[in-house]
Structure 1
Amino acid sequence: MSAQPDPSDSAFLSPSSSLPGESPDPHPLARYGWDAGRDAEFAPHAAKGLVPGRVTRVDRGLCDVLVPAADEAGTVAVRADTSLVTPRDPMRIVCTGDWAAVDPAGEQPIVRARLPRRTAFVRSGSSKRSDAQVLAANVDHAVIAVSLAVELDLARVERFLALAWESGAQPLVALTKSDLVPDAAGVAHLVADTEASAPGVLVLPVSATTGDGIDALAAAVGTGTTVLLGQSGAGKSTLANALVGEDVQRVQATRDTDAKGRHTTTTRTMLPLPGGGVLIDTPGLRGVGLFDADTGVAQVFAEIESLAEECRFHDCGHGVEPGCAVRDAVENGTLAQRRLESFRKLQRENQWIAARTDARLRAEIRRDWKQKQATGRHMMERKRGKHM
């Protein structure tokens, strides 16, 4: 357990502590993302004697928080009670990456409030429930780790990208274990396939074993907060160790039988990066359900959204409707059928989640579906009439 400083010996600092007439020193939490905007947000809490902190790890009812230390350039890790800010709404529960107002008085520090989130990586809860889970907050970059030791699953990449875009963070795809691909041409082909499914996203092949691509990845995430995401066995912990420059995360080998990984990281943990910024490593995700990700899905399938503007009907479902530019693109080979199927799947899933939480929207979807069925039947009947 981390040592807890005694508030009486000035172990904690106020957000801005400098002598009159001197230029203020950088805030002790600046390297973890603290800025002038956070200063303004925190002012009401500072007036109550609370101190700022960034949550680096969360357990049941407790969290590790970095707060300013007696050394003006330093921080100290404390274990804080979060029971006062644990609402029923899972979207509001304190998570790794949150900024908190911490009360240092008493035997154990207490989190009194959570500052507003600028970004949040959210997925739907397990077992296809309609609740949400925040995986990380206040994230600038989302690195999606995809192992090249197994067959490349582009649909899963698209799913991760939709969640990343929706979070407000800038996604990046790291194709890990590139050293296991027999030749450079094979790696280039896999990169090209991924880029086609990730418009506007940097795709980097990397190998923690050989070091290839690590410097480029470190440069891309050298500022701000980065969250590392992916399935078990994608090599996230190994990649985290390579970026940090030391073995800070335990790693395990994948199973020989199916190349699947074992869960090594079991909690979300924040790690400082040597070149600046911080990294949040997350446990391997078995499921990545969408949650209110309309914007994210549209961003991932930008070319389909662009084609849809040319459809005859503004609410075209890209099925049996006449004058569908999207279906025409599939037929002439300018749009892959797989991309359209993936787009439809993610759209349906996102609508299903939304309908679970909004009865009115569910009724609208049902009416829209019935109308499209009727239109489809009418078009088929007209087509049959022409051939009679």
Structure 2
Amino acid sequence: MSSSSSRQASSRRVSSAQASASHALAPYGWDENWAAAFAPYARQGLLPGRVLRVDRGQCDLVTPLGTVRADTEFVVPRDPMKVVCTGDWAAVDPDGDPRYVRTLLPRRTAFTRSTSSKRSEGQILAANVDHAIITVSLALEVDLGRVERFLALAWESGAQPLVVLSKADLVPDPLGLSYLVEDVESVAPGAQVLPVSAATGEGVEVLAAIVGGGTSVLLGASGAGKSTLANTLLGEDVMTVQAARDVDGKGRHTTTTRNLLVLPGGGVLIDTPGLRGVGLWDAETGVGQVFAEIQELAADCRFHDCAHEAEPGCAVRAATEDGSLSVRRLESYHKLLRENQRIVAKTDARVRAEILKDWKRKSAAGRAALEAKRGGRGR
């Protein structure tokens, strides 16, 4: 076949694939808005595809022509926030060996955390997610601070968070389970808290209905039961499951990559490896949404820039004194704000200057208080 005939045949395949894209990719979340965003690349003869998984510079994508493997060499920006990620929609070569991902479509949402790297880089765990399912195992005492941390990242991502209390069958007392749900609800304003048991089926139908619309990502520590939940929703054992240790409830990383899977009842699920570290990444808005009641109380503080520490007329501190706001909750709020500020300061000179100014102010106030205590005398 001549090169001209080959190009014509390739063009016909692309045109046919593009025409069927809405049908073939619909189960993966393709819609009119994605089609409109992809239109310029369609005119270049590229194929739309959604990233199913990423592995060492290559990725698997589902396209109108089926699942293909492509190299991400052309999408290697200096900004780690723009690398190819599971859940991305991309423009990919229609053929070739190797194929290449040429570009990514603008993300609607992105779940991001800071890495343990000293270079203060962000890491995208999943892209274009509608529901962030924070999985918390009831095999252990619930860490409310960790739940708050996950929620802050979820709200910041633009996805709707949902807290799933997995292994609910391990709490046989209905009243005890109700108390646990209430405890988590108290730190999760605006998010549904759902006890679920893959063993008994409790809560599974409700969870399936939620994830049946759009794309959901499963998040949580190793041993939280994410892979078991994924298998339950998929109706088959797709994800490997290993038992958590009886001593501390921790599990090994049974999921080592982020995988995008189509659910039989509709919707798309991204399963992720267990997360040991959940560092914030420019999540001030998300922190504010998690601690919405503190934000509301702050409106009644005497000073508009009240830090809720030792200022007079602080409505937030007053709430801790009368018991309407827990001290733990306020301490967690301060902790997450400070952490987020440190992360932002590493890349924002203005924030660094503000932190230094605040440190000097507090140091001066401390020295003045010490001098006053000593009656104005020196050492």
The TM-score by the shorter chain falls in which range? over 0.9
What SS is found at the alignment partner of 1:27?
Answer: helix
Counterpart residue number, 2:305: 315
Residue 149, structure 1, aligned to residue 123, structure 2: no
Measured in 2, the distance between the counterparts of 1:330 and 1:367 equals 28
TM-superposed deviation, 1:94: 0.3
> What residue in structure 2 maps to residue 31 of structure 1?
27
Sort the Cα spacing of 1:325 and 1:374 in 2 relative to 1 into closer, same or farther, 3 A.
Answer: farther
Matched, 1:296 2:286: yes
* TM, length-normalised to structure 1: 0.90
> Structure 1 counterpart of 2:285, which letter?
T
In structure 2, the residue matched to 1:281 is 271
8 Å CA contact 1:15, 1:39 repeated in 2: no
Q: Which residue of 2 aligns with 1:67?
A: 63
1:43 aligns with 39
| Alignment partner of 2:111 out of 116, 121, 125 | 121
Report the counterpart of residue 221 of structure 2 in structure 1. 231
* Counterpart contact for 2:154–2:286, Cα < 8 Å: yes
Residue identity in the other structure for 2:125:
L
Paired amino acid for 1:266:
T
Equivalent position of 2:81 in the other structure: 91
- Which amino acid is 2:107 matched to? R
CA offset at residue 29 of structure 1? 1.0
How far the C-alpha of 1:259 sits from its partner, in A, is 1.8
- Is the 1:13–1:68 contact (alpha carbons within 8 Å) kept by the matching residues of 2? no
Whether the aligned pair in 2 keeps the contact of 1:80 and 1:109 (CA below 8 Å) is yes
The answer for unaligned runs of 5 or more in structure 1 is 1-6, 19-24, 70-75
User: How far off is 1:127 after superposition?
Assistant: 4.5
Q: Following the alignment from structure 2 to structure 1, what is the Cα–Cα distance between the partners of residues 77 and 302?
A: 47
Contact 1:90/1:132, CA 8 A, preserved across alignment:
yes
Quote the offset at 1:12 in angstroms. 4.9
Q: CA deviation at 1:384?
A: 10
Secondary structure (helix, strand or coil) at the match of 1:77 reads strand
Instruction: Evaluate the alpha carbon distance shift between residue 10 and residue 239 of structure 1 in structure 2; reply closer, same or farther with a 3 A threshold.
Output: farther
> Following superposition, which runs of at least 4 residues in structure 1 exceed 6 angstroms of deviation?
379-385
Taking a change above 3 Å as real, the CA distance of residues 321 and 330 of structure 1, as seen in their structure-2 partners, is same
Q: Secondary structure at the match of 2:308?
A: coil
Structure 2: which amino acid aligns with 1:295? T
Which residue matches 1:103? 93
> Between Structure 1 and Structure 2, how many residues are aligned?
367
Amino acid at match of 1:150: L
Name the residue aligned to 2:19: 17
Which residue number corresponds to residue 333 of structure 2?
343
Moved more, 91-100 or 308-317: 308-317
Cα distance in 2 for partners of 1:374, 1:263 equals: 49
| Aligned equivalents of 1:328, 1:295: Cα separation in 2 | 24
Farther-moved stretch of structure 1 (369-378 vs 55-64): 369-378
- Shift in alpha-carbon separation, 1:375–1:306, aligned structure 2, 3 A: farther
CA distance in 2, matches of 1:231, 1:293: 20
Q: Distance in 2 between matches of 1:334 and 1:259?
A: 33
CA contact (8 A) 2:18 2:47 kept: no
Q: Using a 3 Å threshold, how does the CA distance of structure 1 residues 358 and 175 change in structure 2: closer, same or farther?
A: same
The match for 2:3 is: none
Aligned mate of 1:330, from 309, 312, 320: 320
Q: Look up the equivalent residue of 2:95 and give its one-letter code.
A: A
After TM superposition, the structure 1 = structure 2 runs for residues 180-219 of structure 1, keeping only pairs within 5 Å, are: 180-219=170-209
Q: Deviations over 1:246-298 (max 9, x none)?
A: 11100000112322111100000011111211000000000010000010000
* CA shift for structure 1 position 66: 0.3
Deviations 1:198-220, CA, capped at 9 Å, x for gaps: 00100000011111111111111
The question of whether the paired residues in 2 share the 8 Å contact of 1:11 and 1:68 is answered with no
Q: Match for 2:124 among 95, 115, 134?
A: 134
Corresponding residue for residue 72 of structure 1: none
- Aligned-pair identity (%): 68
Partner Cα separation in structure 1 for residue 333 and residue 373 of structure 2: 28
Give the AA of the match of 1:240.
Answer: A
User: Aligned-residue CA RMSD in angstroms?
Assistant: 2.0
C-alpha deviation, 1:185, in angstroms:
0.9
- Counterpart Cα distance in 2 of 1:297 and 1:30: 34
Task: Give the residue type in structure 2 aligned to 1:256.
Answer: D
Q: Which residue of 1 aligns with 2:50?
A: 54
- In structure 2, how many angstroms separate the alpha carbons of the residues matched to 1:215 and 1:131? 38
| Alignment CA distance shift 1:285-1:224 (3 Å) | same
**SS in structure 2 at match of 1:104:** coil
Quickly say closer, same or farther: Cα 1:378–1:318, change in 2 above 3 A. Answer: farther
